[in-house]
């Protein structure tokens, strides 16, 4: 696909983000299984539900624009998830692994926050008010998920890992 206009670039980036969410829907159940702290398991499962609705929001946006949802595979996300799995497999201690899982999950969240932020700005410039509201809802969920992980890490998971 050639990208020759701002609108086409916007659609292509939406398709990339749709692939990010789809990959995360596959990865989060595995991450929840790897997690040992009940709070972390729960946070990952809650975010899985949010991720499903974020994917649905993106599908609705793409549908409004008459675009195919499965056009692109986001390779940055693929690489990040591969690294996360590799790390989780290398670490046997449960507390250390949970701290590592949070570090991996926060990489992903920050990446998503960056992409949602750009897309929300572009939606606004393109006058796509419905898209903008949906993108901002997802952006807000990503930020909250990130903050929740920071809280868990600081309050219990990093201290537990540091005591190992
Ligand atoms: Fe997401």
Whole-number Å distance, alpha carbon 27 to ligand 1 midpoint, is 12
For 45-70, what is each residue's pLDDT tens digit? 999 999 999 999 999 999 999 999 98
The pLDDT value recorded for residue 2 is 74
Rounded distance from Cα 124 to ligand 1 centre (Å): 20
Mean pLDDT of 77-93: 94
Q: What is the pLDDT of residue 112?
A: 98
Q: What are phi and psi of 92, to 5 degrees?
A: -90, -35
The pLDDT value recorded for residue 70 is 84
Whole-angstrom distance, CA of residue 154 vs CA of residue 148: 10
pLDDT over 80 at 162, yes or no: yes
**pLDDT tens column, 96-137:** 999 999 999 999 999 999 999 999 999 999 999 999 999 999
**Is residue 145 pLDDT above 70, yes or no?**
yes
Q: What is the structure's pLDDT at 4?
A: 86
Average pLDDT, the chain: 96
Q: Cα(76) to centroid of ligand 1, in Å?
A: 14
pLDDT at residue 1 greater than cutoff 70: no
Quote the pTM value: 0.94
Q: What is the CATH number of domain 6-162?
A: 1.20.1260.10
Residue-wise burial string across 48-84, b where 16 or more C-beta atoms lie within 10 A, e elsewhere:
bebbeebbebbbebbeeeebebeebebeebeebbeeb
Check pLDDT > 90 for residue 151.
Answer: yes
Does pLDDT of 43 surpass 90?
A: yes
- How far is residue 162 from each of residues 50, 58, 88, 97, 108, measured CA to CA in Å? 30, 39, 17, 12, 23
Domain ranges of the chain: 6-162
Report the separation in Å between the CA atom of 70 and the middle of ligand 1, taken as the mean of its atom positions. Answer: 16
3-state class (DSSP) for residue 65: coil
């Amino acid at each position: 696909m050639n990208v020759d206009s701002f609108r086409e670039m916007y659609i292509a980036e939406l398709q990339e983000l749709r692939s990010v969410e789809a990959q995360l829907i596959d990865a989060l159940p595995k991450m929840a299984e790897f997690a040992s702290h009940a709070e972390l398991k729960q946070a990952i499962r809650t975010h899985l539900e949010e991720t499903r609705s974020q994917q649905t929001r993106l599908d609705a946006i793409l549908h409004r624009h008459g675009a195919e949802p499965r056009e692109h595979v986001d390779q940055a996300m693929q690489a990040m998830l591969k690294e996360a799995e590799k790390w989780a497999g290398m670490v046997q201690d449960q507390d250390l692994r949970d701290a590592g899982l949070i570090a991996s999950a926060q990489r992903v969240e920050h990446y998503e926050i960056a992409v949602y932020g750009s897309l929300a700005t572009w939606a606004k410039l393109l006058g796509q008010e419905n898209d903008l509201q949906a993108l901002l809802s997802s952006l807000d969920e990503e930020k909250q998920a990130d903050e929740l992980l920071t809280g868990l890490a600081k309050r219990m998971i990093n201290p537990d890992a540091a005591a190992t």
